[in-house]
Amino acid sequence: MVEVRIIRESDNPLLKRREMLFEVPHSKKSTPSLFEVRQMISAMKGAPLEAVYVVFLKSMSGKSSSRGEAHVYYSPEYAVIEPLHVKVANLPPEEKKKAKEEIKKKRMEMKAKAIGGRK
């Protein structure tokens, strides 16, 4: 299993979370998914999975590692402020696919209502 190295960590009491920049080395392997990194950070910090969100993860050019940012909320209730696209990106692969389909369906319905109402 790959390890997560914390580069910088700070407390944000206003949003009730810890914000961290991290690096994930993955020599001779592909970049781990957001969900895998989310699980690693959750285990490392002893926080419930529902309180941890990886905001971004980017592979570094010329290196076999990736850098990213994560938010670890004090409690899952405080994570409601995390944007929907971040929440969807952090889901397990099968749940992510379902969530994206539901969002697409809702958008199509909203679009149909908007077009229908312009007569």
Q: What is the mean pLDDT of residues 54-63?
A: 89
More confident residue, 1 or 15: 15
Of all residues in the chain, the percent with pLDDT exceeding 70 is 96
Q: What is the mean pLDDT of residues 28-45?
A: 91
Whole-Å CA distances, 71 to 21, 24, 80, 83:
9, 16, 12, 12
pLDDT band, very low/low/confident/very high, at 29 (cuts 50, 70, 90): confident
Domains and CATH numbers, the chain: 5-90 (3.30.70.330)
